[in-house]
Amino acid sequence: MKQLKILLIVVLATHFCLAQTKEFRQLDSIFNVLYQQNQFNGSVLIADKGNIIYEKGFGLRNETTQKENNTNTIFELASCSKQFTAAGIVVLKRQGKLNYTDKITRFIPELKQWDKVTIYDLLRHTSGIPDYIASMTDNWDPNKIATNNDVIQFYANRKDTLRFEPKSNYRYSNSNYALLASIIERVSGKKYADFLATNIFKPLKMKNTFVYNRREKPQKIDNQAIGYVWAKKSFQKVTADDPKYGQKSVYYLDGVVGSAKVNSTVGDLYKWVNALKSDAFFTPEEFAAMTEITQTDKGKNIDYGFGLDIRKGDNKFTYGHTGNWDGYTSLIYHDQIKDRTIIVLQNFNLGAIPFNNIQQLLNQSPLTPEFKKKVSLSESVLQQFTGDYTDQEEKEDKHRITYQEGHLIYNTTSADWDMRFFPISDNEFKGIRQGGADAVIKFNRDDKGKMNMEMLQNGRKIGFGIREE
> Which CATH number goes with the domain that contains 321?
3.40.710.10
Shared-domain flag, residues 81 and 146: yes
As a residue count, the chain comes to: 469
- Residue 49 domain flag: no
- Give tens-digit pLDDT for 229-284: 999 999 999 999 999 999 999 999 999 999 999 999 999 999 999 999 999 999 99
Say which of 29, 43, 79, 380 is annotated catalytic. Answer: 79
The arithmetic mean of pLDDT across residues 304-333, rounded, is 97
Shared-domain flag, residues 337 and 401: no
CA distance 406 to 421: 9
Mean residue pLDDT of the chain comes to: 93
Distances, alpha carbon 255 to alpha carbons 59, 145, 149, 218, 434, in Å = 28, 6, 10, 11, 25
- Give tens-digit pLDDT for 97-119: 999 999 999 999 999 999 999 99
CA distance 154 to 157: 5
- Give tens-digit pLDDT for 135-172: 999 899 999 999 999 999 999 999 999 999 999 999 99
How many other C-beta atoms lie within 10 A of the C-beta of residue 91? 21
Task: Residue 33: name the closest of 425, 440, 424, 439 by CA.
Answer: 424
- Residue 436 domain flag: yes
Top pLDDT among 369 and 108 is at 108
Confidence of residue 5 (pLDDT cuts 50, 70, 90): very low
Shared-domain flag, residues 408 and 340: no
Quick one: how far is CA 340 from the chain centroid? 19
DSSP letter for 393, please: T
Quick one: how far is CA 280 from the chain centroid? 26
Shared-domain flag, residues 453 and 343: no
* Residue 428 belongs to domain spanning: 379-467
Shared-domain flag, residues 388 and 301: no
Shared-domain flag, residues 165 and 233: yes
- Residue 111 domain flag: yes
- Residue 24 domain flag: no
Backbone angles phi, psi at 407, to 5 degrees: -125, 155
Using a cut of 0.85, tell me whether the model's pTM lies above it: yes
Shared-domain flag, residues 384 and 278: no
Residue 79 among the catalytic residues = yes
Among candidate residues 351, 370, 389, the one where a domain is terminated: 351
Task: Residue 227: name the closest of 209, 252, 245 by CA.
Answer: 245
- Residue 124 domain flag: yes
CA distance 156 to 65: 44
**445 three-class SS:** strand
What pLDDT, on the 0 to 100 scale, is given for residue 434? 59
Shared-domain flag, residues 280 and 406: no
Backbone angles phi, psi at 351, to 5 degrees: -65, 140
- Residue 367 domain flag: no
How many other C-beta atoms lie within 10 A of the C-beta of residue 172? 12
Sequence-ordered list of residues with C-beta below 8 angstroms from that of 440, at least 6 positions apart, any chain: 424, 428, 429, 430, 431, 455, 456, 457
Shared-domain flag, residues 118 and 203: yes
What pLDDT, on the 0 to 100 scale, is given for residue 436? 60
- Residue 385 domain flag: yes
What pLDDT, on the 0 to 100 scale, is given for residue 10? 39
Q: What angle do CA 152, 158, 161 make, to 5 degrees?
A: 95
Shared-domain flag, residues 206 and 341: yes
CA distance 59 to 39: 11
What pLDDT, on the 0 to 100 scale, is given for residue 396? 87
- Give tens-digit pLDDT for 36-67: 999 999 999 999 999 999 999 999 999 999 99
- Residue 67 domain flag: no
CA distance 421 to 374: 10
Backbone angles phi, psi at 167, to 5 degrees: 75, -5
Task: Residue 358: name the closest of 45, 1, 40, 134 by CA.
Answer: 45
What strands lie across the sheet with 210-211, from one edge to the other? 75-76, 262-264, 210-211
Question: Quick one: what percent of the chain has pLDDT higher than 90?
Answer: 90
Distances, alpha carbon 265 to alpha carbons 77, 217, 345, 426, in Å = 9, 20, 8, 40
- Give tens-digit pLDDT for 376-409: 999 999 999 999 999 988 888 999 999 999 999 9
What pLDDT, on the 0 to 100 scale, is given for residue 8? 42
Q: How many domains does the chain have?
A: 2
Shared-domain flag, residues 157 and 262: yes
pLDDT at 224 over 60: yes
Among candidate residues 332, 351, 370, the one where a domain is terminated: 351
pLDDT at 1 over 80: no
Q: Give the amino acid at 207.
A: K
Domain CATH number, residue 433? 2.40.128
DSSP E strands in 81-201: the ranges are none
Shared-domain flag, residues 444 and 304: no
In contact, 348 and 61? CB cutoff 8 Å: no
